[in-house]
Structure 1
């Protein structure tokens, strides 16, 4: 899995173009539309990985990319509401009892959310429906599997280390402004591929239609 994570971002002859497009769109995410195109490409990475693919997907059918991105963001936002609501309720109910207890509760819920979300997005991408992102049966099988747990930990390490490197490089004038987004895009691609592998190994391909 470590080898796959390292080699995946540079898979295929035209990988510099694919990574470059992703980095460019991410850089202009403040225009809103690129956010959904990037999210749509994330769907393709998860989908093709779940199907056993080992190369970066193509940037094609941009309309489909945008729609898929909208769906992915919708699923992610739905899950994000949970820790937000829990945080609000916890601090409202426990603020006079124990702020530390409220903080601990929020931490546990948030950590659970970050463990659950990649599996949800992977199942959504593999099956292709919004409902798949909330499929309790499949998600329970994935979340309790050793394969997914190991993949999640590896992806976390990739994002932490890669994020630090990207942040440091971004401090370099001019060169960092270009290299920073490229490194960040490469890190996200590698992490998503690892999530997809963990999901695929956990379900044995049975959730892929």
Structure 2
């Protein structure tokens, strides 16, 4: 799966053009709006892979950039909520113990608070690394921000061995990309190549997340998260509208369901 992910963006006759555009969009992410477009493209990668199309990466010319950008912005909202929850879980104990130790000579109380906060930070970071891929994939499958917080799917798929394996694979890909990026920093040409390596690497991560989620979802619920070829953002996002808890297909292909 790791090799498939890393080779994903090199498929097709126009792969070089696709990677060049992706790298440029990623580089322009410093201007904020292109960063949303970049994220939207990565979500489209997941949508294609979950829909069963693992050989044809999205072509930039076939996509509606406005829809991609909106999709990316919605995803940022999802990640911000998770980030805020993570910050509260890790930071609240530290704040409480610091407040309790304020005005006293008890450095032990403050130190204990920092220790607890540090442990919670590590646990929270690990939990976020496991939960966020599933939340992202379900957000894509249902085209709804609220789907990213579906506790039934999160509980079932996060604990699935296939999904956990995919998450480990994505970590390996990130490490490989980081190592390659570190090596490229030693030359001017290498520095110029960094955005394109990042585009290929991020696509690989999303590929692995999507493939792991699709397989795990089908194992848990007896059906894929998306039926048939994924629909391009340009033509409207196709979703299954499947309720994992009730087993009802609501067939909610009605645009974004916030």
Which string of whole-angstrom CA distances, capped at 9 and with x for unpartnered residues, describes residues 4-30 of structure 1?
223212122211122211111111111
Which string of whole-angstrom CA distances, capped at 9 and with x for unpartnered residues, describes residues 49-83 of structure 1?
11111121122111111111111111111111111
Give every structure 1 segment of 4 or more consecutive aligned residues whose post-TM-superposition deviation is greater than 4 Å: none
Report if aligned partners of 1:94, 1:101 keep a CA contact under 8 Å in 2.
no
The equivalences for 1:1-209 within 5 A come to 1-54=1-54, 55-59=56-60, 60-95=63-98, 96=110, 98=112, 99-173=114-188, 175-204=189-218, 205-208=223-226, 209=240
- Name the Cα RMSD after superposition: 1.4
- Uncovered stretches (5+) of structure 1, i.e. residues with no partner: none
- Uncovered stretches (5+) of structure 2, i.e. residues with no partner: 99-109, 227-239, 241-258
Which string of whole-angstrom CA distances, capped at 9 and with x for unpartnered residues, describes residues 93-126 of structure 1?
2442512222011110121012111111111111
Q: Distance in 2 between matches of 1:97 and 1:106?
A: 15
**Structure 2 length-normalised TM:** 0.77
Report if aligned partners of 2:91, 2:117 keep a CA contact under 8 Å in 1.
no
Q: What is the number of residues matched between the two proteins? A: 208
Q: Distance in 1 between matches of 2:64 and 2:95?
A: 47
Report if aligned partners of 1:166, 1:181 keep a CA contact under 8 Å in 2.
no
Give the structure with the larger helix fraction: 1
Report the 3-state secondary structure (helix = DSSP H, G, I; strand = E; otherwise coil) of the residue aligned with 1:28. Answer: helix
**Structure 1 length-normalised TM:** 0.94
